[in-house]
Chain A
Amino acid sequence: MTDITKDAIAPPRSFLSQDAIQLFYRLLAALLICAVLAVLSDSFLSLGNILNVLRQASLTFFIASGLTLVVLTAGLDLSVGANVALSACIAGTVIHKTGSPALGILTGLACGGIVGLLNGIMVTALRIPSFIATYGMLWVLNGLTYWYMAGETLHGFPAGFRQIGSGYLFGLPIPVYLLLVFLGIGTLFAQRTIWGQEIYAIGANPVAARLSGIPVARRLLLVYTVSGTMAGLASIIFLSRLNSAEADIGESLTLPAIAAVLIGGTSLFGGVGTVFGTFIGALILTLVLNGMNLLSVSANWQPLVTGIIVILAVWLDMKTRRRTQ
């Protein structure tokens, strides 16, 4: 999984222009899908539907944005979906027991973050490959959630809390604001901070990164913790949007999040990719589902189409990247 250190020669800074071109291609692809859908379906281009797509994309984006950082370090976090489920269930219980949404939100974020931290410890201190460590974590979390929920459903939360997921502000859904905020923070963090640059460097070449004095283990801990915390955030959005939580909500979230990261142009070998790309990846996935619903296409076709898009996106990405280099 982790050969290729050969395209990891360029220093982080120079990725910006390269990435800009890649992002442009990707935006073009998203716009192309939009154009096709607009021709096929009258309702697609309505403002309502566009906001609708953005809101649906936000859940995938929150999970995928944290995951992007992990993938940038050449790691992977398979436990994000299970983490969302556990965090949602625990946060929901806290809100029910204390009546305080703020406390619930904090617990949800903390639970997600702690799980992420544990992943980070397994990867750094125990030196278990991230793929396997987080796969193990996935089952441990599932077991915990199943035990904790015992087949029950948590539902019915305060109206104020539910505004986070389903409310509007100046005509825009609140999750869309959150999406923009985290898109901004994520991009600034990755591109403009030293820590962000160090994460790129670790992914590009861990040995070189260590030799140049980057505290690799601490940065990895940070990255997994951030990924877990973003899963915690997604759990809050989920909870407030659906007004309920049950043990199996995470299962359908992991693979779309990974797909969004990959469609967005982040390389599994680390060191290459952007949070903005991941946003477009999430958008493309959501557009396809939205289009299929609007056109009443049988859901049987959905995995097939998604699979083709993942391969096409990554292949085109590599093609264009080679040409520009």
Chain B
Amino acid sequence: MREAAIVSEPNPLQRIPGVAMVLVLLIALFSVIAPGFLSVANLSNVLVQSTILTMLALPMTLIIMTEGLDLSMGAVLTLTSLCVAIVSLATKSMLLGLGAGLLVGTAFGIANGWLVAILGIPPFVATLGTLGMAQGLSLIVSDGQSVVGIPHSVRDIYSATLLGIPVPIVMALVTYAAFHGLLYHTRFGTYIFALGGNREALRYAGLSPNRLLIAVYAIGGAMAGIAGLLMTARMNSGHPTAGLGLEFDAIAAVAVGGTSFERGNGWLLGTLLGVLSVGVLRNGLNLISLPSSVQVASVGVLVIVALFLDGLRSRA
């Protein structure tokens, strides 16, 4: 029965040109024209800078696979980042801060899932609504001000290293491994493929698509909570607008990575490559100091070109 629900893992070879080609080309280009690009310090910069987006883009991939969308992620990240700051400031405990962030993030995730699954509100609308709520709450709890003076234990998360590797990269790798395992090696992963491709099959298998859907959105919220900790650690403060708009970056990375909005199948590695492409592009353009207006347009061009290449492949 469950086999019916499986949409097979897409043939990676078929995907490679879309996003991986873009990434390889960008890396090759910048190695030649941008001095210092290939240095360890710089590559480590690119990776560390990409961690927060990775943590949003991975759950976003799952959500998009269910033919959903989560526009609230950036705003929820902002709110959880503030919660981490406020709670760790009050309790002097990083873990309690993280707990608060996770709690608020997951609550928003569950709310999103509930609105989408139980009330049947289209994901775009439901999460646009919760975007407003999270943004409003961020402004209200902080009164528009930065929250500073948080304990060093929070900040250390961003700057510390483990076996010589920066902790954010370790966290992103662990996250990736967890998502990969979850999606490709557990039943839950199979169900997620089914949520996008074949909900009827799930019902026949005696499973509740609604609960699964809520779980997927809850994962998104929880990840926004963890990313919120990283954001707070990075700024050593909480700020009421820090993460706004990141959801669109995450969605763009997922799309660049070859996850389809229509067929409901996703490719986690593609998402990771998509995040890295955006990161490499921004970093490389900073290094060669192109005018900022070109940098603004370049991300748009990257998204369009990658999707266009993908379109060519799928037609061929």
Interface residues of A (CB under 8 A from B): 1-3, 76, 122, 126-129, 131-133, 135-144, 146-147, 255, 258-259, 262, 267-269, 300-308, 310-311, 314-315, 318
Q: B296 at interface (Cβ–Cβ under 8 A)?
A: yes
List B52-75 residues whose CB lies under 8 Å from chain A. 67, 69
Instruction: Decide if the interface of chain B is mainly helix, strand, loop or mixed.
Output: helix
Give the interface size bracket for B toward A. 35 or more
Complex contacts, A140 vs chain B, CB 8 Å: 297, 300-301, 304
The answer, among B125, B128, B301, B308, for a CB contact under 8 Å with A126, is B308
Most chain B beta-carbon neighbours within 10 Å: one of A135, A269, A315: A135
Is B130 within 8 A of A300, CB to CB? no
Q: Contact partner of B67 among A3, A129, A139, A301, CB < 8 A? A: A3
Name the 5 nearest CB pairs between A and B, nearest first.
A307-B132, A304-B136, A143-B297, A139-B300, A311-B129
B256 to chain A, nearest CB (A): 8
Q: How far is the CB of A194 from chain B (nearest CB, A)?
A: 28
For the complex, give the distance between the alpha carbons of A308 and B129 in Å. Answer: 6
Q: Which residues of A sit under 8 angstroms from B137, Cβ to Cβ?
A: 304
Contact: B125 with A314, CB < 8 Å?
yes
The residues of A that contact B307 with a CB separation of less than 8 Å are 126, 128-129, 132-133, 136
Is B298 located at the chain interface by the 8 A CB criterion? yes
Give A247 to B123 CA distance when docked, in angstroms.
Answer: 31
Closest to A1 in B: B261
Interfacial chain B residues near A318, Cβ < 8 Å:
119-121
Interface pair B69/A132, CB less than 8 Å apart: no
User: Which residue on chain A has the smallest CB distance to residue B314?
Assistant: A127
Measured in the bound complex, the distance between the Cα atoms of B311 and A268 in whole Å is 23
Q: Contact partner of A315 among B121, B133, B255, B293, CB < 8 A? A: B121
Q: Do the beta carbons of A2 and B139 come within 8 Å of each other?
A: no
Asked whether any CB of chain A lies closer than 8 Å to the CB of B144, the reply is yes
Kindly identify, within residues 248 to 273 of chain B, every residue whose CB is under 8 Å from any CB belonging to chain A. Answer: 248, 251-252, 255, 261-262
B303 contacts A by Cβ under 8 Å: yes
C-alpha spacing A226/B183, complex, angstroms: 42
Instruction: Specify which of A128, A310, A311 is in contact with B308 (CB 8 Å cutoff).
Output: A128
- The answer to whether B182 has its CB under 8 Å from any CB of chain A is no
CB–CB A128/B125 < 8 A: no
Indicate whether A132 sits within 8 Å of B252 (C-beta atoms), given known contacts A143-B300, A303-B133: yes
Bitwise interface map of B from 101 to 144 toward A, beta carbon under 8 Å scored 1, else 0? 00000000000000100011111111011111111110110011
Residues A310 and B293 in contact in the complex (CB < 8 Å), given A126-B311, A135-B252, A304-B137? no
Q: For residue A132, which residues in chain B have a CB less than 8 angstroms away from its CB?
A: 251-252, 255, 261, 303-304, 307
Determine whether the beta carbon of A142 is less than 8 Å from that of B296.
Answer: yes
A142 to B302, CA, bound (A): 14
Query: With contacts A268-B124, A318-B121 known, is A135 near B296, CB below 8 A?
Result: no
B contact set with A: CB distance below 8 Å: 67, 69, 115, 119-126, 128-137, 139-140, 143-144, 248, 251-252, 255, 261-262, 291-304, 307-308, 311, 315
Considering only CB atoms, which chain A residue lies closest to B303 in the complex? A136
Chain A residues near B128: list those with CB within 8 A: 255, 258-259, 262, 307, 310
Known contacts A300-B144, A302-B136; is A129 also within 8 Å of B126 by CB?
no
Residues of B close to A315: CB separation below 8 A: 115, 119, 121
Q: How far is the CB of A223 from chain B (nearest CB, A)?
A: 18
* Chain A residues in 8 Å Cβ range of B291: 147
Q: Are A2 and B261 within 8 A (Cβ)?
A: yes
Known contacts: A126-B311, A143-B293, A303-B135. The answer to whether A1 contacts B124 by CB under 8 A is: yes
Instruction: Evaluate contact between A135 and B121: CB separation under 8 angstroms.
Output: no
Contact across chains for B133 and A307 when beta carbons are under 8 A apart: yes
Q: Is the CB of A303 within 8 A of B136?
A: yes
| Residues in chain A near residue B120, CB distance under 8 A | 318
Chain A contacts for B125, CB-based, 8 A: 262, 268, 310-311, 314
A-B contact pairs, 11 of them (CB 8 A): A129-B261, A132-B303, A136-B304, A139-B296, A139-B298, A142-B300, A147-B297, A255-B128, A268-B125, A304-B140, A307-B128
Cβ B293 vs Cβ A122 within 8 A: no
A304 & B301 in contact (Cβ 8 Å cutoff): no
Of B67, B137, B261, B300, most A-chain CB atoms within 10 Å: B300
Chain A residue nearest in CB terms to B294: A143
The complex places the Cα of A2 from the Cα of B139 at a distance, in Å, of: 33
Question: Do residues A146 and B296 form an inter-chain contact, with CB atoms below 8 A?
Answer: yes
